[in-house]
Structure 1
């Protein structure tokens, strides 16, 4: 007969063994989670201004969308895809249609700004910054019976419009592009293209834009990538090779009149890694434009991509219809990501990539037109493979890991009351500035410590600081018990490092900076640095103790089982 005390002893030892194994698993699992670095590599500063940004943007046709719900759904899908930028045309002819300095819609009799105000507000409400393409002169400004793409007869008329535009949208639209593809027909009208004339246009537009807002960013017109087409007049071009046109712009002094160079980057039927060649149109052709910039001493500026992508027209299209060649939809999605990955890895001067295009209204392109097949989203809001691929790729951008991150990085989310200020002394050439009490920004990150890079000086203010919704240990507290940071200093200090928190647990954290109600001046936020820190010490004592217990429990269980086996015979 089996002794009941032996059976109870077996059950107890088994239970003890399970508890010890569970406890040991929890201790080791916690250590592994804490020791795992948020990022194995420190992300180095991107030193060229306007490059530490969300690289994903797209071209939109929102001004042509009549129904409000469609505009809202379009922008909502862009936000859900993680896009950070909306490239949108603002046609001069629509805003100042009938005569100079009259901003009246001839149909409604109301302000011609109203539609565009709503559009900008919609983009901004969904977290997308606007890049405004300014072109298409009104009939009163260009020669009689000329094409709408024709430049104005008097470039000062464009300059005055640019001033009015920048002044109207100050603080809401901080990036403007002057004209579009002036090196090809018909974007310069029914005449030979003229890089010297375009440079004069750019000079006037740039000067007037900076008069309206010194902190607005002016982008040059992107050049269509082309091998050229001669004009009937000897020595002139109907469409001029992009490399020759850009060289001529620099010879005319264009380098002084833009902050960011715009470029087009279509991949045609070639993968993004295909090497650049003067006689080949491909994605990396932009490297040849970059060489021209650097030869002219302009290597300190970024290049942003006005139109970017691969066309996925059906294979049934004729060669003549495939202006941009074609790839499969699968390759379109893959190449789009590979191109941006390549650029972020190899081109320290690359900034925003505006995919051509997000969604059309159904009026721009028919299914018989190869251009139809660039879309990220169909007219009926069906997402294509490239949309899904971009959505997956952007997911990690909104949480910073270990490294240096400018205030323009997508993990930094400022309220509208924070404005970009261009400052050559700042990290990355600019900073975020606000003097509005209550204006806040957040910085989402994973790491064990975080530092603020800021401007300090006699004319700087106070920031309230919280981490994960709580006061930050080590910072002073105000009369209301809130932790804060005093950015004042006897002398101006650019790129001043302020350690904010250390010894943080593994996982995502949210730092919030808010302009204090009693701040005596504006606050200037320049960058953030996150460090994964040293891994935690191995939990030797608890592991050793549990290990001894585990060995003892196993030994006891083995002895008990042998005892039960012997008891069967006695």
Structure 2
């Protein structure tokens, strides 16, 4: 394990190649495709935006979910401030990354009377549709998919109470507006967080999707999305009560889709993560491996997005601060290696590929042995986005994947409930041994990685009351689940035992830019 304060596993000095696979907005719909959900990008300095995207690609990740906050861009009716989101989209697009945009956060002028800005739903679906249509027009061909709102099934993002009928009206207005501006864009509905039914405050994902269909949602989305967070239950483990298990809720969502003739549509996991303040770094790595393995075993699932890239504050006890697979100082947690191994054994390909052979970083836990990665594929690889030095395969018997397996075994010893994951982790890493045959002989000049200019942290204030679901699967099924970490700004519910996650986004206040400040600030 890399010690806190050490240089990141994926810094220039670590023999890393960034992997921009294709210069296109399209996101490969395969269920082995992995991205990062990083709502904090909107609140970062430009230097940190660039470094964050580079760190993603150093892990083999080539897709990113970004926050597009209505309240931060159209703070005043018909006045648009695009500078910040322009930079985020331009930076990802220049690296050939696929972009998923989540459009939420209501400006004060567009909310229902008495509802709070940001968390309150739009008073007029048509006003929201006008905005999201303007976004799709501006970024046509560069943003490949859009999510209509974020976790509307809990009061934290649809205040004061979730309303699937009203959400369906929003979807019915937004879908044609996006398609008119960009017919090739994928429009994703639902965007439901894992919560349990809790009075008027939260509606479970499957029941919410059922209600959407009853309200006429069919035909107004190309896919559904889901955030299957749970701090105390690995994704592969069904619960005693289906309402408690994120996996069971996925299957019930699918049942609703099939019953309504949407069996050909996929369910994306646009957020999944585990905070290290809730059990440690080894638990985070084990849960993530378990999730990726289990999610990809379903024939009806699509891409998944890991929340998130980097901690806000590694030393914090607040779960919202510790979802990153990188620590605040940019050093890598074990979960970063899980992602790198996943992308190495599940190439993140796109149409019309050409071959690119990639080397990988030496890992501190493996005593400087490196893992050779099988040839990846790529098209349009801009020289400016590829940073590497030449790496030679190690002949040592101890490998990176051994280190990951050992870490998971240690976690199982400390927490026996993780035992079902050990076999999946071992199987996943064993496949990597077979690919340990090729390392790149290509040497590409490294690009400069700007030092983090610790400017604006995400400006949101998280009022996160949750740590975990008040239950393990055996406990009462009438409490709200601990969903996200996705933080306010991106908008994840984070609904917890109180159903509260925190406000959506600071973005409504705008982000800080190293070059210019948001007029919305």
Partner of 2:174: 205
Partner of 1:332: 284
Alpha-carbon offset, residue 311 of structure 1: 3.2
- Please give the residue correspondences for 1:210-359 in structure 2 after superposition, counting only pairs within 5 Å: 210-230=179-199, 237-275=200-238, 277-313=241-277, 326-344=278-296, 346-359=297-310
Alpha-carbon offset, residue 334 of structure 1: 2.4
Give the conservation status (yes or no) of the 8 Å contact 1:142–1:150: yes
- Please give the residue correspondences for 1:137-156 in structure 2 after superposition, counting only pairs within 5 Å: 137-144=106-113, 146-147=115-116, 148-156=118-126
Partner of 1:115: 84
User: SS of 2:345's equivalent?
Assistant: coil
Residue-by-residue CA offset, 1:199-256 (whole Å, 9 max, x unaligned): 01001000111111111110113212222221xxxxxx22122221110001112121
Partner of 2:334: 385
Give the conservation status (yes or no) of the 8 Å contact 1:63–1:116: no
Distance 1:337 1:407 in 2: 29
Distance 2:279 2:354 in 1: 32
Distance 1:412 1:254 in 2: 37
Distance 1:254 1:186 in 2: 22
Change (3 A) 1:399 1:273: closer
User: SS of 2:207's equivalent?
Assistant: helix
Alpha-carbon offset, residue 309 of structure 1: 2.5
Task: Provide the TM-score with structure 2 as the length reference.
Answer: 0.60
Residue-by-residue CA offset, 1:88-119 (whole Å, 9 max, x unaligned): 1110011111112x21xxxxxxxx21221111
Partner of 1:185: 155
Alpha-carbon offset, residue 300 of structure 1: 0.3
Residue-by-residue CA offset, 1:115-144 (whole Å, 9 max, x unaligned): 211111211233321110100111111135
Distance 1:375 1:181 in 2: 20
**1:97 aligned to 2:75?**
yes
Distance 2:46 2:192 in 1: 33
Alpha-carbon offset, residue 66 of structure 1: 4.0
**Greater gyration radius:** 1
**1:55 aligned to 2:19?**
no
Partner of 1:413: 378
Distance 1:395 1:383 in 2: 17
Alpha-carbon offset, residue 176 of structure 1: 0.5
Change (3 A) 1:60 1:215: same
Alpha-carbon offset, residue 186 of structure 1: 2.1
Distance 1:386 1:292 in 2: 33
Residue-by-residue CA offset, 1:42-81 (whole Å, 9 max, x unaligned): xxxxxxx963365211111344444322221111111101
Distance 1:54 1:292 in 2: 23
- Please give the residue correspondences for 1:497-516 in structure 2 after superposition, counting only pairs within 5 Å: none
Give the conservation status (yes or no) of the 8 Å contact 1:266–1:309: yes
Change (3 A) 1:394 1:52: same
Task: Provide the TM-score with structure 1 as the length reference.
Answer: 0.55
Alpha-carbon offset, residue 356 of structure 1: 1.5
Give the conservation status (yes or no) of the 8 Å contact 2:195–2:205: yes
Distance 2:28 2:169 in 1: 25
Distance 2:311 2:113 in 1: 31
User: SS of 1:337's equivalent?
Assistant: helix
Distance 2:351 2:95 in 1: 21
1 or 2 for the larger relative contact order (CA 8 Å, sep ≥6)?
2
- Please give the residue correspondences for 1:497-536 in structure 2 after superposition, counting only pairs within 5 Å: none
Partner of 2:137: 167
User: SS of 1:256's equivalent?
Assistant: coil
- Give aligned pairs, total: 338
Distance 1:62 1:286 in 2: 27
Residue-by-residue CA offset, 1:460-493 (whole Å, 9 max, x unaligned): xxxxxxxxxxxxxxxxxxxxxxxxxxxxxxxxxx
Alpha-carbon offset, residue 507 of structure 1: 8.1
Distance 2:214 2:30 in 1: 30
Distance 2:235 2:122 in 1: 37
Runs (5+) with no aligned partner, structure 1: 1-48, 104-111, 231-236, 314-325, 418-505, 510-570
Give the conservation status (yes or no) of the 8 Å contact 2:31–2:304: no
User: SS of 2:261's equivalent?
Assistant: coil
Change (3 A) 1:507 1:392: closer
Change (3 A) 1:129 1:260: same
Change (3 A) 1:73 1:273: same
Give the alignment's Cα RMSD to 1 decimal: 2.8
Give the conservation status (yes or no) of the 8 Å contact 1:226–1:281: no
Partner of 1:87: 65
Partner of 2:344: 395
- Which is richer in strand? 1
Change (3 A) 1:416 1:261: farther
Give the conservation status (yes or no) of the 8 Å contact 1:263–1:307: yes
Residue-by-residue CA offset, 1:414-471 (whole Å, 9 max, x unaligned): 4499xxxxxxxxxxxxxxxxxxxxxxxxxxxxxxxxxxxxxxxxxxxxxxxxxxxxxx
Alpha-carbon offset, residue 286 of structure 1: 1.2
Residue-by-residue CA offset, 1:292-328 (whole Å, 9 max, x unaligned): 1112111101111021133332xxxxxxxxxxxx444
